[in-house]
A and B are shown apart, each in its own frame.
Chain A
Amino acid sequence: MKIFNCETGMKKLVSIGGALLLSGLMLAPMSSLFAVQGMGAKSQEAFLRMRTVTFFDTRFSFTPNNRVKVGDEFTCTGKVMLMPTWPQEIPFSGISFFNFFVPGPQVLRKAIFVNEKYFQFNSVVLEKGGVYEYKMINQARTPGIWPVGPMVSMEEAGPFIGPEEFLTIEGSTGGFTNPVKTLLGNTIDLENYGEGRMIAWTLLTTAIAVVWLVYWCSKPFTRRLGLVAAGRKEDLFSPMDRQVCFLFTIGTIVLVAAAAMITRAQYPITIPIQETKYYVKPLPPEPALIQAEVTDATYDVPGRTLSFHLQVKNIGDKPVVLKEFLTANVRFLNPDVPGNTWNENYPEVNGGPMKVTPSEPINPGETKTLEVSMQSAEWENQRLTMYHESTNRFGGLLFFTDTSGTRQVFAIADQIVIPKFGATIGGGM
């Protein structure tokens, strides 16, 4: 009878498959090992990114060089607005956490302040329509190039992601410490506090378990099936086996009790995990310069142009201009406003110019209908064209300023936009 050496055959197949995969891996280009990509916000639907939490006035203290050393602190500041009309499709629980995106603790979060004075530790309860200011203080920890940025996480809804920057952290982690003073008066290093103790107890309890297992598994194992079936108890256990069993059982209980009591004596003052939620009031509303309403909106697909009519009434006492539209971390600046140019410190995406017709300021008491038009490849690059989605309503923030520099942020929360798939429309409707 032929003896089939299937084991070798199986191994050959696995070897070939594995070799193919490995060679595929090795042929992959190894250059730009540290050229890091973004945070993955683009996978979220356009309507979610445009109509829920909008980040504005975002600044990172390390721009424009984007370089820090291990141990350096840096800040990220800005504001968020929770849209006053929240999409029905996205759950709104209000329970939120001002968060920071970084792939792992490559930077440490040292502090987050909300509305200047409030230090956020536990999660906060936010309101629809509220504007909140944040200041995040972080510390660089691990060398590399990392995408970083602010975010707000909301329970049930998920992450809302702000603008990102790529931060280069130079240096080495050797010698990095994270000292903290406890209420008991001692200073500890969070990088390795309690680690030696944890490892020692782990090794001790594991060693006892391993000895127990080795003791039993060193006896012939399979034949015990036969001994049990035959009822040969005397061949299954020796008197020493029973003694070992009692020793390990009682001894383990005594060891655990003793270790717990010793630990209690070593750490007489302890507190439980601290968990609560805080209600944070939004910032007071900005002075109202205008009243506005979007009357209609279209998106020209081939021309990649979002256009809308905006009826604006100036209810202030100074002329007002429309400076900017911001949505989903993309900014469109009105070039007709003097000095309104892109700054390299802006972490957002530059969507390009926003054309406003008529471009003259709106005088006090005047009501005008503005035609706002933004032609930009970023509608597609950032995946903000909505006609692929089940809801075709856009949102964003309009920034009006008057001649004294006072600003009003006006939210477009929930505006239907009709796509036009026909010929290119040049600059307006």
Chain B
Amino acid sequence: MAQATTQTVSISIPDKSAFSWKNLWIALAIITVFEIAVNVYERTFAFAKGLDYFTPDYQTYWMSILYTELILEPTTLIALCSWLWVTRDRAMENLAPAEELRRYWNLGLFVVVYTVLLYWGASYYTEQDGTWHQTVIRDTDFTPSHIIEFYQSYPIYIIAGVGSMVYAMTRLPQYAKAFSVPYAVLVGSPLMIFPNVGLNEFGHTRWFMEELFVAPLHWGFVMFGWGALAILGTWLQICPRVVELIKQVYYGKPATPPAVVLNDPEKATDPALCEV
């Protein structure tokens, strides 16, 4: 018997609370309070304690932050991904449409959180680094601005990006058995900005003594930043499946069963599915 390529079922409408903004507001509030605290700390201790690497105060006020970050961040990433993996959906072929739709909503909020953190890292703190380095003398790889930018804001968005991708891979049929190229680029390319710091520090130590922001030394960051454009492809993959599920859940229209999406995820990316 040929496998059904569409599925018509009678589905009860999910409760509105399944698509609530509440979790996003909470996440944004935590992020905003945290980032404000970081900025207050910088303004209090960067000029006051952060200009001379070789002072005991520098170790107390700045290197301690770095060591805390280097412990907390990988721990958080491993814990998050492990937990997502352990609690994965092991029977996705039976996933109910309303539940799949709810998970796409969660994924959407997760992606928004990722892009908010990406903004803080790649936009705010990276240009702030220019404010710092064009104003004072660079005397260490671990300047106050770097401790916040490279070693805090970049890992934090990496945790969110990788976490969102692992969420998708462990809970959504579209991502369970195949890698999405745009999603991998969206997460992986900004992720590579972090190892590129190694090139940056080597260059500033060995080759390039001037604080020119547009120096070719920095163009690795530029290249990896381009990957953020893959948000376009990511949504082009997700939107057709989401609209298809909305039509199925709310209008009773037939939709591709999850078992088919599992094996052929590109089938669910046809933009014609968005026709309402």
Chain A residues packing against B (C-beta within 8 Å): 1, 3-4, 6-11, 13-15, 17-18, 20-22, 24-25, 28-30, 32-44, 101, 103-104, 144, 146-147, 155-159, 161, 222-230, 232, 383
Q: Is the CB of A230 within 8 A of B243?
A: no
Q: Is the CB of A13 within 8 A of B135?
A: no
Q: Does B229 contact A (CB under 8 A)?
A: no
Q: Does B209 contact A (CB under 8 A)?
A: yes
Report which of B110, B171, B276 forms a contact with A10, defined as CB distance below 8 A.
Answer: B110
A22 and B54 contact, Cβ closer than 8 Å, known pairs A40-B139, A43-B140: no
A282: min CB distance to chain B, Å: 24
Q: How far is the CA of A18 from the CA of B34 in the complex (A)?
A: 7
Q: How far is the CA of A102 from the CA of B58 in the complex (A)?
A: 18
Q: Which 6 A-B pairs have the closest CB atoms?
A: A158-B209, A40-B139, A226-B275, A226-B274, A43-B139, A225-B274
How many contacts A-B (CB < 8 Å)? 164
Residues 75 to 122 of chain B near chain A (Cβ within 8 Å): 76, 79-80, 83-84, 87, 89, 91, 94-96, 99, 102, 106, 109-110
User: In the complex, what residues of A have CB within 8 A of residue B91's CB?
Assistant: 1
Q: Is the CB of B34 within 8 A of A22?
A: yes
User: In the complex, what residues of B have CB within 8 A of residue A6's CB?
Assistant: 84, 87, 106, 167, 171
Q: Does B127 contact A (CB under 8 A)?
A: no
**Size class of B's contact patch?**
35 or more
User: In the complex, what residues of B have CB within 8 A of residue A14's CB?
Assistant: 27, 30, 76
Q: Is the CB of A103 within 8 A of B271?
A: no
Q: Is the CB of B99 within 8 A of A13?
A: no
Q: How far is the CA of A161 from the CA of B80 in the complex (A)?
A: 47
Q: Does B264 contact A (CB under 8 A)?
A: no
Q: Does B50 contact A (CB under 8 A)?
A: yes
Q: Kindly supply a per-residue 1/0 record for chain B positions 39-81, scoring 1 wherever the CB is within 8 Å of any chain A CB and 0 otherwise.
A: 0010011011111111101101100110011001000100110
A226 and B58 contact, Cβ closer than 8 Å, known pairs A13-B76, A18-B30, A43-B140: no
For A106, the closest partner residue in chain B by CB is B47
User: In the complex, what residues of B have CB within 8 A of residue A13's CB?
Assistant: 76, 79-80, 83
Q: How far is the CA of A24 from the CA of B66 in the complex (A)?
A: 12
Q: Is the CB of A41 within 8 A of B243?
A: no
For A158, the closest partner residue in chain B by CB is B209
Q: Does B272 contact A (CB under 8 A)?
A: yes
> B184-192, B214-222, B234-242: which one contacts chain A?
B234-242
A47: min CB distance to chain B, Å: 15
A24 and B51 contact, Cβ closer than 8 Å, known pairs A11-B26, A13-B76: no
B187: min CB distance to chain A, Å: 15
Q: Does B257 contact A (CB under 8 A)?
A: no
Q: Could you list some 30 contacts between A and B, CB below 8 A?
A: A4-B87, A6-B87, A9-B83, A10-B110, A11-B26, A11-B27, A18-B34, A20-B68, A20-B72, A25-B65, A28-B45, A30-B44, A32-B48, A35-B48, A35-B57, A37-B49, A37-B50, A38-B52, A42-B52, A42-B53, A101-B136, A104-B135, A144-B47, A222-B274, A223-B276, A225-B239, A226-B272, A229-B270, A229-B272, A232-B275
For B243, the closest partner residue in chain A by CB is A222
For B53, the closest partner residue in chain A by CB is A43
User: In the complex, what residues of A have CB within 8 A of residue B270's CB?
Assistant: 229
Q: Is the CB of B273 within 8 A of A103?
A: no
Q: Does B37 contact A (CB under 8 A)?
A: yes
Q: Kindly supply a per-residue 1/0 record for chain B positions 252-276, scoring 1 wherever the CB is within 8 Å of any chain A CB and 0 otherwise.
A: 0000000000000000001111111
A161 and B137 contact, Cβ closer than 8 Å, known pairs A14-B30, A222-B242, A230-B272: yes
Report which of B44, B45, B48, B137 forms a contact with A101, defined as CB distance below 8 A.
Answer: B137
Chain B interface main SS type: helix
For A161, the closest partner residue in chain B by CB is B137
B15: min CB distance to chain A, Å: 12
Q: Kindly supply a per-residue 1/0 record for chain B positions 7-32, scoring 1 wherever the CB is within 8 Å of any chain A CB and 0 otherwise.
A: 00000000000000001001100100
Q: How far is the CA of A181 from the CA of B186 in the complex (A)?
A: 53
User: In the complex, what residues of B have CB within 8 A of residue A42's CB?
Assistant: 52-54, 139
Q: Is the CB of B163 within 8 A of A10?
A: yes
Q: How far is the CA of A17 from the CA of B31 in the complex (A)?
A: 11
For B40, the closest partner residue in chain A by CB is A25
A156 and B209 contact, Cβ closer than 8 Å, known pairs A6-B84, A147-B51, A225-B274: yes
For A146, the closest partner residue in chain B by CB is B47
User: In the complex, what residues of B have CB within 8 A of residue A229's CB?
Assistant: 270-272, 274-275
User: In the complex, what residues of A have CB within 8 A of residue B135's CB?
Assistant: 103-104
User: In the complex, what residues of B have CB within 8 A of residue A43's CB?
Assistant: 53-54, 138-140
User: In the complex, what residues of A have CB within 8 A of residue B109's CB?
Assistant: 7
A260: min CB distance to chain B, Å: 27
B87: min CB distance to chain A, Å: 5
User: In the complex, what residues of A have CB within 8 A of residue B51's CB?
Assistant: 36-40, 103, 147
Q: How far is the CA of A1 from the CA of B103 in the complex (A)?
A: 13
Q: How far is the CA of A157 from the CA of B1 in the complex (A)?
A: 76
User: In the complex, what residues of A have CB within 8 A of residue B44's CB?
Assistant: 30, 33
Q: Is the CB of A41 within 8 A of B139?
A: yes
A4 and B48 contact, Cβ closer than 8 Å, known pairs A229-B272, A229-B274: no
For B270, the closest partner residue in chain A by CB is A229
Report which of B61, B136, B209 forms a contact with A40, defined as CB distance below 8 A.
Answer: B136
User: In the complex, what residues of A have CB within 8 A of residue B58's CB?
Assistant: 37
Q: Is the CB of B138 within 8 A of A40?
A: yes
User: In the complex, what residues of A have CB within 8 A of residue B27's CB?
Assistant: 11, 14
